[in-house]
Chain A
Amino acid sequence: MTKVVIDPITRIEGHLRITCEVENGVVKDAWNTATMFRGFEIFMKGRDPQGIWQFAQRICGVCPTPHAFNSVRAVETALGMEKVSDSARLVRNMMEAAQLGYDHILWFYHLNGFDYVNVPNTLNAKASTPGLKAVQDQVKAVVDSGQLGPFANMYWDHPGYKLPAELDLEVTAHYLQALDIQQKACDASAMLGGRYPMINNYVPGGVTQMPSIEDIEFYVSQMSVVKDFIDTVMLPDLLAIAPYYLDLAGYGKGVGNFLSWGVLDEKSQDPYDRLFPRGGIFDGKLELQKVSLDEPRQYTKYSWFGDGVGAGKHPLNVGQEPIDFTKMPPIEGEAFPQGKYDWTQAVRYGKEDRPMEVGPLAQVLISYLAGRPEAKKLVDDTLAAVGHAGDPTVLLSNLGRVAARVIKAKINSDNALRWADELLANIGKGETTVYQELDFSQTGTGQSGWDAPRGALAHYTKLSDNKVDTYAAVPPSNWNLSPRDDKGVRGPVEEALVGTPVLDPEKPLEILRTVHTFDP
């Protein structure tokens, strides 16, 4: 038995340590440890409900927009506002679509790409175009300088890198190009929201102002470039890379339970009617179920919170005060872990206390099962391309998570332009109301579920007397990076790690791959 500890897990948002026990070249057991705590629910207490979303969007600077949406929506529902105006819905959709566009590109190339694309190997390629030659020269200049920067010290000699040098070069070129493309999506968001990240045009009741026609045209021009890149570069890259890494279909299956609260509202503003609809999949059976925001329960036996704090409580009833003594277990040393090991509380769904996987794979599977034509076609085409036509169960794997991310990016960018058109049509019809005044002195409890790029995100709040009485957020990382619950059941990432092959415990590339597919 070999103990493998990876800390920090890089190329993620969030501090994370992974501990694995490896036996005969396979992970036998695994623990994930979130290594940072800030205490949002504690300092959000007593604040002004109208501005609480400004706090909430700082939970994640990679995905502030869905936090902003859920926060304003939770406050709106607490004050009895069932829907926002149609134009406000469209502005919020356009903001979300821009944020998803940038995030998925960034994840695919910049945060996940190094697990599959060997940058130094690009020097062995025969560059087929002047553009590729220029990229190769640039990589050569960096290598010759002896200052490898972010590429230094990676396991580039690991035999798990399988792409031909020409493909490594091409995708490296796209890695650099994608740095500029992600800016286009961020600019589209910033034009409506003032800046990205940390937007400034949301407010409970709607949005602060109606974008001008010029703003909308700018949005369309930027998102058209994003869409073109996803269609003609990112999707082909996925299909070009996948055949070399079909082994990814063989591990990382996880818990087989999937949850999405849904994201991107259609005109009805019904969460089951969203572009990516709400739903759940249980016990690996590819059947679609309804889900409820009342069902998440939290456990703390293995978290640095008091044992009695969780015990199956609804998020709004869970204490968020850390226990007095916390000490991160040493990386070297005694057997790990004996007791509490995580700043994340274990979130489980329903009375069966199921751990749930959330994220693009959940969203794409649920869209597929809901019979959405775009999802159906893209999933079927992808399955055929990787030699598993007609068998979506193969997606319950690391390969599925990578593919789903790209499929979702495409569906999203296709529809971003549709919402811009709908908003222009509303302007044409004179439907320009984007804000409704609310009475913040009311008492009420509200909730909202709206998926972040990384997966299911819910916010809950109780308001009284113009103040936030209680606030709770259940972000996707709390699902995927759950530690063991009180019954000892592993969280989704921990479960997916079990069975992951490890060719060389000194260079645990395969463990990184499994963890990164969850975008933790």
Chain B
Amino acid sequence: MEHEEMSLFPGLTRRDFLKSCGVLAGAIGLSGPMAVPRVANALEQLAKRPAIVWSCFQECLGCSVNLLQSRKPNPANLILKQISLDYHEAVMAPAGSQAKKSFHDIVDSKDFYYIVEGGIATAIPDACTIGGMTSMEMCKDAYQKSKATIAIGTCACYGGIQAAAPNPTGSKGVSDFLKSEGITPDKLINSPRCPGNADDTVAILLYALVKKQLPELDSQGRPKFLFGQLVHDNCERRGHFDAGEFVEVFGDAGSEKGWCLYKVGCKGPVAYAPCPVTRWNGDISWPVMAGGPCIGCSEPDFWDTQSPFYEKAPGVKLPGDITPTQLGVGLGAITAVGIGAHFIGQAATGRLFKGAPVEGMEDEGSDEGGKR
């Protein structure tokens, strides 16, 4: 009777609480002896659970489904104890005018964080409406009144799949949409990947809550502490790349040995994401572990720029042609290979979210996004 033994809401002991604070500190790049007390204080001082308004625009709900795969904390604790999920169309109980009331009550209070899933239909505004409001109207209103906004998943960041050429509805990411409305997106964080990753979402929220500031972002609006390094740099198949050992056809001998997937299309050498470090669904796997090539889903317009998905990424030199550290000059002429590598270096040693050791770390210098 395993289900009866599972505790639903274990009263967190002080020890467990501090332990989870240590994990959270690691997740958002805090280290040093003060990291745990600082996170603990910040969480304890939250008199109110932070209100979240989550909009679903042109999407498939995959980002929300992945939110349900959150582990630290698990979804029940996240929703009931740590945040107040005041508006989310797929989760909330009320419908119709009552749902709209929830939206307006919270948005007009201006005391909330805004999360956007999905693209904004700009060429045919009525291709996405909710409660009679277009995605353009709803997004603009909520963004302007929010304390900060997180675009979750590649659709909300860059328009995503429906923006794939020829983009029939004129879908845009939140950033481009706001710019087209004359608004500077200065309180917006992009958290791409397809789907958006639950642990990224939680880490970014905690970063904003605990540090009272937004994380340092790269040129694509992504937090450097998560998206600072190429998938390729941390891939467990990287050694096979360097040794020139490649899967040529799925199911061949190399495939059985877990060799590098570059020749069957892997975009790991040109995509910035922490997939091999944090993995997915807790930490049990990630796309390349399943034997399929990375499709580069963290990159802007990847449906057009990273496809065909099963053909080699252009511009990547193989070992022997060039040294491995110079790799990554691929599509979009991404040159910032080293950006944030130290962050993920920190993550890689402790596996972001998996309980990076906090005690005994050097100092608080790594508090700041890009420094160590």
Contact = CB atoms under 8 A, between A and B. Distances in A.
A182 B60 contact: no
Interface in A224-250: 225, 228-229, 232-233
Given A7-B132, A48-B311, A194-B286, A147 B84 contact: yes
B79 A135 contact: no
Interface stretch (B18-26, B88-96, B140-148, B316-324): B88-96
A210 B290 CA distance: 9
Interface string A108-142: 00110010000100000000000100110110011
15 contacts: A13-B90, A38-B161, A43-B168, A61-B61, A119-B93, A131-B7, A135-B8, A147-B49, A152-B86, A152-B102, A192-B290, A196-B69, A203-B250, A326-B127, A331-B131
Contacts of B102: 152-153
A186 B6 CA distance: 18
B128 interface: yes
B287 interface: yes
Contact of A176 (B56, B76, B91): B76
Interface of A: 5-13, 15, 35-40, 42-43, 47-48, 50-51, 54-55, 58-62, 64, 106, 110-111, 114, 119, 131, 134-135, 137-138, 141-142, 145, 147-155, 173, 176-177, 179-183, 186-187, 190-203, 205-210, 218, 225, 228-229, 232-233, 321-322, 326-328, 330-331, 343, 433-437, 508, 512
Contact of B96 (A5, A43, A187, A190): A5
A200 B93 contact: no
A180 B76 contact: yes
B98 interface: yes
A179 B249 contact: no
B21 to A, nearest CB: 20
A5 B130 CA distance: 12
A8 B250 contact: no
Given A10-B90, A150-B79, A200-B287, A331 B74 contact: no
Interface of B: 1-4, 6-11, 48-49, 51, 56-66, 68-69, 71, 74-76, 79-81, 83-86, 88-96, 98-99, 101-102, 121, 124, 126-132, 161-162, 164-169, 171, 194-195, 249-251, 255-256, 265, 280-282, 284-292, 295, 297, 303, 307-311
Contacts of A62: 60-62, 65
B251 A209 contact: yes
B147 to A, nearest CB: 16
A232 B85 CA distance: 30
A11 B281 contact: no
Contacts of B60: 13, 58-62, 64
B281 A196 contact: yes
Contact of A197 (B49, B66, B80, B295): B66
Contacts of A42: 166, 168
A203 B280 CA distance: 20
Contacts of A134: 7-11
Contacts of A191: 284-285
A177 B284 contact: no
A198 B62 contact: yes
Contact of B131 (A8, A181, A206): A8
A435 B251 contact: yes
Contacts of A512: 95
Nearest to A106: B68
A197 B65 contact: yes
With most chain B CB atoms within 10 A of its CB, the pick from A13, A55, A106, A135 is: A13
Top-5 shortest CB links A-B = A61-B62, A194-B290, A209-B291, A39-B168, A435-B251
A386 B255 CA distance: 53
Contact of B94 (A154, A180, A202): A154
Given A10-B99, A177-B8, 19 more contacts: A9-B96, A11-B89, A50-B308, A50-B309, A58-B161, A59-B60, A61-B195, A131-B4, A134-B7, A149-B49, A152-B92, A186-B65, A194-B292, A198-B62, A198-B297, A208-B291, A218-B284, A326-B126, A436-B251
Contacts of A154: 93-94, 98
A182 B101 contact: no
Contact of B169 (A37, A228, A327): A37
A321 B124 CA distance: 12
Contacts of A147: 48-49, 51, 84, 86
A504 B330 CA distance: 61
Contacts of A181: 3
With most chain A CB atoms within 10 A of its CB, the pick from B56, B102, B127, B165 is: B127
Nearest to B168: A39
B295 A43 contact: no
B127 A36 contact: yes
A183 B3 contact: no
Given A61-B64, A131-B8, A203-B250, A194 B90 contact: no
Nearest to A5: B96
Given A37-B127, A54-B309, A138-B80, A9 B86 contact: no
A155 B95 CA distance: 9
A177 B6 contact: yes
Contact of B280 (A51, A138, A190): A190
A41 to B, nearest CB: 9
A38 B121 CA distance: 9
B25 to A, nearest CB: 24
A51 B309 contact: yes
A38 B124 CA distance: 10
A203 B124 contact: no
A208 B84 contact: no
Contacts of B308: 47-48, 50-51
B115 to A, nearest CB: 14
Contacts of A218: 284
A190 B285 contact: yes
